[in-house]
Amino acid sequence: KFEKSVHGKFLACVDCHADRTEIPHKEGMPKSKVDCGNCHSDQKAAYLTSVHGQEAQKGNLKAATCSSCHSKHEIQHVNTDESKLAIVQSCGKCHSENFRSYTDTYHGQVNTLGYTYTAKCFDCHASHTIQRVKDPASTVHPDNRLKTCQKCHTGATAGFVTFQPHANTHDFNRYPIMWIASKFMISLLAGVFAFFWLHSALWFYREYRDRKEGKSRPHVKAEAVPGKAPEKHYQRFALGWRIGHFCFALSVMLLVLTGMAVFYAETGWAKAIVDAFGGPRVTAYVHRVCAAVMLGIFFIHLVFVAIKLGKVWRTFNWLGPDSLVPNLRDLQGAIDMFKWFFGAGPRPVFDRWTYWEKFDYWAVFWGMGIIGGSGMMLAFPNVTASILPGWVFNIATLVHGEEAFLAAVFLFTVHFFNNHLRPDKYPPPDIVMFTGAVALEEFKREHALEYKRLVDSGQLEKYLVDAPSKPMTIGSRIVGIVLIACGLSLLVMVMIGFLGGIGVAH
């Protein structure tokens, strides 16, 4: 080990251990006293003025010495990444609580991934001259903190001073806002998953039982449609919506991949992904490009909807069947579904939009506000800190990760189940978002009230289209299967990170 160290290249053992002249060493010999200051006099002088040096001079055996940070026989040059990473780990051996909170920040996550360009313990606290935070000479004393931040964040404003780099979510007395935000997010995650996972499990059970027992799906008995109606499909989504959905799905999956690789930096797969992208900087760039695509699609959709509704807002039925605004019929539909789940009623029928489709739609608004808003704060820290206090970064980091976790797990479990993986959808995938059209018989079953309404009004014909071509159908199925496989793979990776994080926490 010594021969591979920086000292092994030009020093002999006796240069440090002058009192050890006998080889082999006798058993039971007292530890050799080594004075690193013989060679490193400047560093020793600085160390003796530090909180570590002062405690060591008082006889505190727990005080950090040279070997505590640099090791003994494995010392590497301090400018190497290996040495920088090792020193951070050494700090964590004594300052375990602060080390855990550090690894929850972007600085620490990048460091955990094996890269050293973000702030490390000694970048903020200094190394040989480290002082207690309350000491006016400390580089992280409130009076000096902004200058320290500006070493990396050149345009940092006064708001940076109130950022809490070691905040945690379990100490209410010290970090009440973080504690409250954490408990809110945990409650939100637990509530959403408890309801929708139960909903999915009961739905799967009821559809499976009905199919096994040969029960037919209840639906409105349609009158014969003239011509070749049986081969016709119903046009649900125009080309623009399908392109938007596809780009949105791709951007979200890449956001999950690049974001969760940093969020769960301690997992093996995370480092492999980040390395494959070319490092955290490239990963962050890809993440932000995908975020721009996602937000762009969302806002284009808002403009389109606003223009369309602006033309008919006086006559549009805001609580009618064509509206995505939730109403009491949606609540009744959910109640009727649970009655059907438990065999207490028939399977309910729905109009153009089901209650779970409306939830999917409006959940995006919540996600854009929370994930998008917090992401913008973190992407433009100087602007954020010029308007808001620095502790906002702590909240933004927390909710950005937790809400992204919620979105990813919900999409790849509940959303996938509702649209692709329930028994009535077998074999997956449902390709309506690729072709835009759904088989008329399936449309009758899934949206029976809309079908009846269109038949009664005589408007069904204008929505009927030819079935997608065979190449289009095959291609759509292949793309759908690939996307589902990617989503489920991401789900596995996220759950590995989540379960691993629970283990670390305990």
Q: In this structure, what are the phi and psi dihedrals at residue 439, rounded to the nearest 5 degrees?
A: -55, 140
Asked, for residue 444, whether it belongs to a domain, the answer is no
In a domain, 348, yes or no: no
d(CA 48, CA 44): 6
Q: What is the pLDDT of residue 222?
A: 37
Residue 147 inside a domain? The answer is yes
- 142 and 18 housed in the same domain: yes
Question: Please, what is the angle between helix 328-341 and helix 176-212, to 10°?
Answer: 60
Last residue of a domain, one of 132, 162, 192: 162
CA distances in angstroms from 486 to 21, 291, 340, listed in the order given: 64, 18, 33
Same domain, 241 and 389: yes
Both 67 and 129 in one domain: the answer is yes
Q: Does residue 74 sit in the same domain as residue 110?
A: yes
Q: Please report the pLDDT score of residue 285 as a whole number.
A: 98
Per-residue confidence (pLDDT) for residue 265, from 0 to 100: 97
Tell me, yes or no, whether 153 and 281 share the same domain: no
Whether residues 135 and 258 share a domain: the answer is no
User: DSSP character for 279?
Assistant: S
Question: What residues contact 5, with CB distance under 8 A and at least 6 apart?
Answer: 73, 74, 75, 76
Please tell me the predicted confidence (pLDDT) of residue 76.
Answer: 86
DSSP 182-197: HHHHHHHHHHHHHHHH
Give a yes or no: residue 345 inside a domain: no
* φ and ψ of 194, to 5 deg: -60, -45
Q: Would you state the pLDDT for residue 503?
A: 57
Q: Please report the pLDDT score of residue 20 as a whole number.
A: 73
72 lies in some domain: yes
Q: Print pLDDT tens along the chain (506 aa).
A: 788 888 888 888 888 887 777 777 777 677 777 889 989 999 999 999 999 999 999 999 899 999 999 988 888 888 999 999 999 999 999 999 999 999 999 999 999 999 999 999 999 999 999 999 999 999 999 999 999 999 999 999 999 999 999 999 999 999 999 999 999 999 999 999 999 999 999 999 999 999 888 875 543 333 334 444 447 999 999 999 999 999 999 999 999 999 999 999 999 999 999 999 999 999 999 999 999 999 999 999 999 999 999 999 999 999 999 999 999 999 999 999 999 999 999 999 999 999 999 999 999 999 999 999 999 999 999 999 999 999 999 999 999 999 999 999 999 999 999 999 999 998 999 999 999 999 999 999 999 999 999 999 999 999 999 999 999 999 999 999 999 999 999 999 999 999 987 755 54
Judge if 192 and 300 occupy the same domain.
Answer: yes
Whether residue 494 contacts residue 407, with contact meaning beta carbons closer than 8 Å, is answered with: no
Residue-wise DSSP of 213-272: TTPPPP---PPPPTTTGGG-EEE-S-HHHHHHHHHHHHHHHHHHHHHHHHHTTTSHHHHH
What burial letters (b/e) apply to 293-305, b meaning 16+ CB within 10 Å? bbbebbeebeeee
Instruction: Say if residue 181 is in the same domain as residue 204.
Output: yes
Burial group, residue 338, by CB count within 10 angstroms (0-12, 13-18, 19+): middle
- Domain extent, residue 90, equals 2-162
d(CA 257, CA 396): 19
User: Angle at CA 253, nearest 5°, toward 105 and 297?
Assistant: 100
Number of independent structural domains in the chain: 2
pTM for the model? 0.91
Kindly state whether residue 77 falls inside one of the protein's structural domains.
Answer: yes
Report the length, in residues, of the chain. Answer: 506
Question: Is the domain of 253 the same as that of 393?
Answer: yes
Considering the domain architecture, whether residues 389 and 297 belong to the same structural domain is answered as yes
Using alpha carbons only, give the angle 130, 131, 135 rounded to the nearest 5 degrees. 150
Residue 418 lies in a domain: yes
| Predicted local confidence at residue 217, as pLDDT | 54
What does the alpha-carbon distance between residue 106 and residue 395 come to, in Å, rounded to a whole number? 13
Tokens 């060591």 sit on residue:
56
Residues 285 and 377 in one domain: yes
pLDDT at 107: 97
